[in-house]
Amino acid sequence: MNKSSFSKYLDKINNNQPINIDLFLKAAEPYSLTETQLLKILNWKKIKAKIYSVLILNDKAFNELMQQYPLNPIANRIDASIAGNSHSKAVSGSMISLLAHQTYFPQLVIFSSNGNYQTPATLHKNLLIIENLENFLSLIQQTDKLSIWLDEEWPCDIVYAQGNAISNQIHQKFFSQYDKIRCLLDIDLGGLDIFKNINKLASSSHCEFVFSHYYFEKYIQYGNPLTQQQRLKIQQGDYPKALEQIRKTILKYNQFAEQEILLCH
């Protein structure tokens, strides 16, 4: 008996309709719901033969069953919102904040669920991904900081990663149109994982973890000690070759740093 059969019985109970109790219990079996468990939520009274009227004893538990086994399966975030559980489904698209090359005027890239994207900006061949909002906002105010952070002038578009949200599969087409992608991230487990995910998505682009001389100096000055657990995870982590040097540096100096240290004077 399939899931929809059990859902139909729940719907009938919710609408005060009598049900065949034997078939209802049989429909519950595949989900490891026993008669004893159901009797803590429901109470049934015989009308005739195998037909019973059912009273809901525990509204909260019954509503949880209704959400777990909906009559009409929840396909998207909009449907889920009706059940008050929109966060259980992913958003149908995505949005990235972009500073386009030369203008460095804040614009948006809007993505549909299939990865197609729209933006009013003319895109460059190089892309810089910045993990944290504080650094991204500071570039809007003073774009010449970028050459200091990178140790060089490097023409590129700049996007705000919003943490690991940038690693959304939807962004793959967007990444693939760039010749080179550089990632300015926290020097920690989170930063390594974000780079690893981006590197997988942008397989046709050359990806680099930014660790300039300027960033290194700030890292030495302001870094914080690794815990034993953090160190072990970095030692044992499955990282791409592009991260080997930064991984060795973290282990050598036994410290991590957040990229906002670039803003320290």
Q: List the chain domain ranges.
A: 3-88, 102-263
Q: For the packed helices 228-236 and 189-201, what is the interaxial angle rounded to 10 degrees?
A: 20
The structure tokens 């698209």 sit at 93
Query: Is the model's pLDDT at 249 over the cut of 90?
Result: yes
Decide: 74 and 61 in contact? Cβ < 8 Å: no
Distance of CA 26 to the CA centre of its chain: 38
> How many other CB atoms sit within 10 Å of the CB of residue 176?
14
pLDDT digits (tens, 9 = 90+) for 34-88: 999 999 999 999 999 889 999 999 999 999 998 888 776 666 666 666 556 666 5
The helix (H) or strand (E) run that includes residue 185 is none
CA distances from residue 55 to 19, 40, 46, 59, 247 in whole angstroms, order as listed: 11, 11, 12, 10, 61
Q: In the 8-state DSSP scheme, what is residue 257?
A: B
Question: Domain 102-263: which CATH class?
Answer: alpha beta
pLDDT of residue 143: 86
Lowest mean pLDDT across 142-146, 176-180, 207-211, 244-248: 142-146
pLDDT digits (tens, 9 = 90+) for 142-197: 888 999 999 999 999 999 999 999 999 999 999 999 999 999 999 999 999 999 99
Mean pLDDT on 130-149: 92
> How many other CB atoms sit within 10 Å of the CB of residue 222?
14
